[in-house]
A and B are shown apart, each in its own frame.
Chain A
Amino acid sequence: MKKVMYRLFFVWNEDEEIQFLEEQAKQGWLLYRALPFQYTFIQGEADDYTYQFDYSHASSKTYQEKIQFLESCGWTHVTRLLGWHYYRVKTSEHLSKELYTDQESFKEKYSQLMRLFVILGIMNLLSFLNMTFLIYREGSIGVGLLNLFASLLMLYAFIKIHFKIKNFKKRIG
């Protein structure tokens, strides 16, 4: 049996997303496929599972080596949504509940994503300035404000992740 659920996943809600997926698994719904805003689950044995995200822009071919390695360590690569890779393991079978257990590698996980936020943030900010002050005609203000909103969103995401990395020690405990 299958179940489809619609969800909005914000990058700063990664831990909440993991919790959601783990609760579904407890009820026997195992993630099968992720599309933008849409998860498909299939019914399996209800059990305690641990989910984790990895992030990489790398093509499937380049990233394949890493998948093979993590799978050889007992984790299942469930699916991919854009740069997000979903991994799952039975809680009783893992040696570590996190994919990344030191600050260096945890930071590395987000490095590509942080760069993306910076680039998109700057591009949107430039577009906002251009639309608002250089072009200035009807309609351009609206687009400009959208750009401003997008760049603020990128800034917010950047700051959120920055503090997440900074507070890594608290997280591992």
Chain B
Amino acid sequence: MTKEKDTSARMTEAAYAILLATYEPLHGYGIMQRVKELSQEQILIGPGTLYGVLKKLIHQEWMAMQTIEGQKIYTTTALGQTMVAQEVERLKLLIDMEKGVRL
């Protein structure tokens, strides 16, 4: 009796935003700023949430981390970009559904 809970397939809003932010290498604080900017200030990510999500993404190998001059720099991997593209397809489908109803 195991409850189906596939967290790796379903991307959270925070994971999606963070993966997009690090298409260009960024440090932690930079990611928070970039997400704010990309989302037109609609999505704010707290540092505690960011820490946990980054850890998970690195574990999934969707994100890579390197230490440059004592600063941790994060970059979305090719695999991570593929996962974002898949998520975009899924979201597009949802949006197209609505268009179908309106026409």
A, B assembled together? yes
- Known A72-B27, A72-B29, A73-B28; contact A99-B47, beta-carbon cutoff 8 A: yes
Within 8 A of A (CB), among B1-54: 12-14, 27-29, 32-33, 36, 44-53
Out of A52, A70, A95, name the residue touching B51 (CB < 8 Å): A70
Count, chain A residues at interface, CB 8 A: 21
Closest to B33 in A: A95
By a CB distance below 8 angstroms, the chain B residues around A101 are 14, 44-46, 49
Tell whether A100 is near chain B: CB-to-CB under 8 Å.
Answer: yes
Tell whether B90 is near chain A: CB-to-CB under 8 Å.
Answer: no
Q: Is the CB of B36 within 8 A of A104?
A: no
The smallest C-beta distance from B30 to any residue of chain A, in angstroms, reads 10
Tell whether A29 is near chain B: CB-to-CB under 8 Å.
Answer: no
Q: Is the CB of B36 within 8 A of A66?
A: no
Q: Is the CB of A95 within 8 A of B52?
A: no
CA of A104 to CA of B48, assembled, Å: 11
Closest to B71 in A: A72
Q: Is the CB of A95 within 8 A of B48?
A: no
Q: Is the CB of B53 within 8 A of A72?
A: no
Q: Is the CB of B47 within 8 A of A70?
A: yes
Within 8 A of B (CB), among A91-132: 95-96, 98-102, 104-106, 108-109
Tell whether A54 is near chain B: CB-to-CB under 8 Å.
Answer: yes
The smallest C-beta distance from B88 to any residue of chain A, in angstroms, reads 20
Tell whether A69 is near chain B: CB-to-CB under 8 Å.
Answer: yes
CA of A161 to CA of B22, assembled, Å: 34
Q: Is the CB of B49 within 8 A of A105?
A: yes
Q: Is the CB of A75 within 8 A of B47?
A: yes
Closest to A102 in B: B14
Q: Is the CB of A54 within 8 A of B13?
A: no
- Known A72-B72, A102-B14; contact A95-B44, beta-carbon cutoff 8 A: yes
- Known A75-B47, A100-B46; contact A105-B53, beta-carbon cutoff 8 A: yes
Closest to A98 in B: B46
Interface residues of B (CB under 8 A from A): 12-14, 27-29, 32-33, 36, 44-53, 71-72
- Pairs A–B under 8 Å by Cβ, sample size 14: A70-B51, A72-B29, A74-B29, A95-B36, A96-B32, A96-B44, A96-B46, A100-B46, A101-B14, A101-B46, A102-B12, A102-B13, A105-B46, A105-B49
Interface residues of A (CB under 8 A from B): 52, 54, 66, 69-70, 72-75, 95-96, 98-102, 104-106, 108-109
